[in-house]
């Protein structure tokens, strides 16, 4: 996109490739006998959470990310418009375990081209945590404002 034709074939693939590799690690961790022993003692699987998975690029399918991130023991939060699109024409077929080798190749190609997935994912993580924290802070402020309204109303009786 920025005058780098060698990256054209990778456009729109980095996030899904990274998620597939993360899911592979998740399956490896929670599929081992070590975790099976913990599960017998009451431990629960810590599920991967795919957050706000809507396509921001209008050139992509509106359900591209949702369809690509379907997998056992996962949670996906998405905007209502994306949810409605997925209910209308999405395919709920598990996709996270297919194309993992190709995902690894895509990430390697990005790294080889000088695109640091570590830097990108670190920034996205920080941005995502901030966005969720800001939303949570706004929720707490709204709850506190409502609480104060109710206290004032109760005190004036």
d(CA 55, CA 150): 41
Per-residue pLDDT for the chain (157 aa), expressed as one digit of tens each?
456 777 888 888 899 999 999 999 999 999 888 999 999 999 999 999 998 899 989 999 999 999 999 999 999 999 999 999 999 999 999 999 999 999 999 999 999 989 899 999 899 889 989 998 999 999 999 999 999 999 999 898 8
Contact 63, 86 (CB under 8 A): yes
Pairing of strands 49-50, 75-76: parallel
Give the model's pLDDT for residue 112.
92
d(CA 104, CA 112): 12
């Amino acid at each position: 996109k920025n005058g780098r034709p060698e990256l054209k074939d990778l456009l729109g693939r980095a996030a899904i490739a990274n998620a597939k590799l993360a899911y592979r690690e998740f399956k490896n961790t929670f599929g081992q006998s070590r975790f099976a022993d913990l599960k017998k003692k009451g431990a629960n699987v810590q599920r991967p959470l795919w957050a706000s998975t809507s396509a921001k690029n209008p050139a992509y399918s509106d359900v591209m990310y949702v369809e690509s991130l379907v997998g056992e023991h996962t949670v996906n939060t998405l905007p209502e418009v994306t949810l409605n699109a997925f209910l209308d024409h999405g395919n709920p077929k598990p996709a996270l375990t297919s194309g993992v080798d190709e995902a690894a190749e895509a990430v390697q190609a990005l790294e080889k081209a000088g695109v640091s997935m570590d830097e990108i994912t670190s920034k996205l993580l920080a941005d995502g945590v901030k966005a969720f924290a800001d939303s949570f802070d706004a929720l707490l402020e709204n709850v506190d404002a409502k609480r104060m309204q109710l206290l004032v109303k109760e005190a004036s009786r």
